[in-house]
Amino acid sequence: MTKTMMHDSPAARRGRTLTRGMATLGVAAALLAGCVRPVEGVGTAERWSATRIAGLEITTGASGPRPGVVDARLAVVGSDGGEADRLARNAVDDVQAYWSRELPVTFGRRFAPVARLLSYDSTGPGRIVCGTDTQGAVNAFYCPSDDTVAWDRGQLLPMLDDSFGPMAVVAVLAHEVGHAVQFRLRTVDGRTSSIVKEQQADCFAGAFIRWVAEGNAPHFQLSTGSGLNQILATLFFIRDGTETGFEAEGAHGSAFDRVSAFQFGFGDGPARCARIDETEVRRRITQPAGDRLTTPGEATGTVPAIDRASLSALQETLRAAFDRDGVTGPTISPSPQACPEAKVTTPATYCPATTTVGLDLAALARLGTSPEQGQGGIGDFGAFAEVASRYALAMQHGAGFPLTGLATAQRTACLTGVWAATVRAGRGAALQLSPGDLDEAVAEMLAPRSLIAADVNGAGVPSGFARVEAFRDGFTADTAALCLSRYR
């Protein structure tokens, strides 16, 4: 986030995430070059409810390859016959089975399988594929000139599998086949920007993953609870870095934007994906158009979460967002306190009896560090958003809403999104969003103990989809009224 009058060197500014003043909100965009299906009688809030995901029950079963299923026999150029290629081959086979069914049904067209599948080892000798030297290319990509889907079995696929599970590999390859679908449907051409192509491919991947979650895939199964959350975490990992604007060549979008596109496909199906165009992307995208510009006297960087001035600025933004009609918000205390009505949650607790938000400053500081520092942190916005969520509980308490239960947790995420909207750059708030801040919110919401989407006792919504959707509702609507009426 940002705050004015920080005078750092240009080198120091480049390495930071949040800034002070007019305050502001990856790893592997380099890794990848490459709202709901109608449910009878179900309204918007129901689509991503605390117990259902676009009409599907939230499940906790196994996710990954189905046991005892015969492997696909697709030809893969360059394959070493190992486990990574076996996983990729089965993934592509299932994705193509989906499109063989879906293209005729939705678009009235036959799906022609991808002409060539290619496996390479980025740690081994290089070869030229689609004009790219594969040596050191930790990547997966689609080449339209010869209709090839290629992947790195040496580093990328094992890394995704180890970090997020085998369904991460399936999702990434579904994205790449999604590019092949674009060219078959002619929804893109040589003039289409990278961000539109990539958002469409994320959306097409979401439509396929919905089919897997419904139990239709021959080789894979997916739980709609933790299994789907892991796929969303993969999108966070492969997001664009903060230095990549959405107009840049090869731009995919921030994690917040990529999750949005994926959810469109999962919920609404592939017809929704085909409608993603330049106009919609420019209206919806949160990734900045280019390198972040600063105003005179402003510097970008990570705001210390335990800095007195920063906490004061945070409280100022929270009061501006939530204190209405003469209602005074809670006191923010620099230490957690025992509360007779609620459990103590870390790094912030709301106590209804004392109308106090108590902070664990040490835990808040750890959470506020950047992930690169290796202290288990998410970033300053992630830390401040957790405090904002507890402040949002006080607003609900004052309005007579219950403070426990799944609806409360969703309402809290929505209201935290409302607060985030009030600190968007250019609004003159004491803190303002910097590039990457909304991604920190996504990372926090996908954590098992997310406070952004939790009630007063820290009980959260099991679905990462529902958490992110509720936050997005508040951020987009920019008004608390929608949150209070939608999540009851």
Q: State the pLDDT at residue 8.
A: 29
pLDDT of 236 over the 60 cut: yes
Helix (H, G, I), strand (E, B) or coil at 333: strand
User: pLDDT class for 9, splitting at 50, 70, 90?
Assistant: very low
Q: Which amino acid is at 120?
A: Y
State pLDDT tens for residues 355-365: 999 999 999 99
Q: Quick one: average pLDDT of 298-323? A: 79
Q: Could you tell me whether strands 132-133 and 348-351 are parallel, antiparallel, or unpaired per DSSP bridges?
A: unpaired
pLDDT of 294 over the 50 cut: no
Q: State the pLDDT at residue 249.
A: 57
Most confident residue range from 110-124, 183-197, 278-292: 110-124
- 217 neighbors 98 (Cβ within 8 angstroms): yes
Measure CA 266 to chain center.
14
pLDDT of 41 over the 50 cut: no
Q: Quick one: average pLDDT of 436-460? A: 89
Higher pLDDT: 466 or 19? It is 466
Q: State the pLDDT at residue 288.
A: 53
pLDDT of 106 over the 50 cut: yes
- 403 neighbors 418 (Cβ within 8 angstroms): no
pLDDT of 159 over the 80 cut: yes
- 347 neighbors 363 (Cβ within 8 angstroms): yes
pTM comes to 0.78
User: pLDDT class for 27, splitting at 50, 70, 90?
Assistant: very low
Q: Could you tell me whether strands 128-129 and 116-120 are parallel, antiparallel, or unpaired per DSSP bridges?
A: unpaired
Helix (H, G, I), strand (E, B) or coil at 349: strand
Q: State the pLDDT at residue 32.
A: 35
Q: State the pLDDT at residue 142.
A: 95
Angle between helices 226-237 and 437-445 (to 10 degrees): 160
Q: Which amino acid is at 376?
A: G
* Cβ-proximal residues to 279 (8 Å cutoff; 6+ apart), any chain: none
Structure tokens at 434: 């910097």
Q: Which of 58-72, 137-151, 281-295 has the lowest mean pLDDT?
A: 281-295
Q: Could you tell me whether strands 64-65 and 56-57 are parallel, antiparallel, or unpaired per DSSP bridges?
A: unpaired
Q: Quick one: average pLDDT of 324-338? A: 82
348, β-bridge pairs: 359
Whole-number Å distance between alpha carbons of 361 and 334 = 7
129, β-bridge pairs: 132
Burial group, residue 161, by CB count within 10 angstroms (0-12, 13-18, 19+) = middle
Local structure of residue 65 (DSSP, 8 states): E
Q: State the pLDDT at residue 255.
A: 78
User: pLDDT class for 187, splitting at 50, 70, 90?
Assistant: very high
- 389 neighbors 398 (Cβ within 8 angstroms): no
Q: State the pLDDT at residue 31.
A: 34
What is the average pLDDT value for the chain, to the nearest integer?
83
Q: Quick one: average pLDDT of 108-114? A: 97
pLDDT of 247 over the 60 cut: no
State pLDDT tens for residues 205-232: 999 999 999 999 999 999 998 899 889 8
19: nearest Cα among 6, 38, 28, 30: 6
pLDDT of 99 over the 90 cut: yes
Higher pLDDT: 22 or 284? It is 284
State pLDDT tens for residues 368-411: 887 766 566 888 999 999 999 999 999 999 999 999 999 999 99
Local structure of residue 48 (DSSP, 8 states): B
Q: State the pLDDT at residue 20.
A: 29
Q: Quick one: average pLDDT of 305-331? A: 85
* Cβ-proximal residues to 199 (8 Å cutoff; 6+ apart), any chain: 252, 253, 257, 258, 261, 276, 281, 285
Query: 402 — alpha (psi -120 to 50), left (phi > 0) or beta?
Result: beta
Q: Which amino acid is at 68?
A: G
State pLDDT tens for residues 259-273: 889 999 999 999 999
Structure tokens at 426: 């250019």
User: pLDDT class for 162, splitting at 50, 70, 90?
Assistant: very high
Q: Quick one: average pLDDT of 133-151? A: 95
Q: Using CA atoms in the order 459, 462, 464, 469, what is the torsion angle rounded to 10 degrees?
A: -80
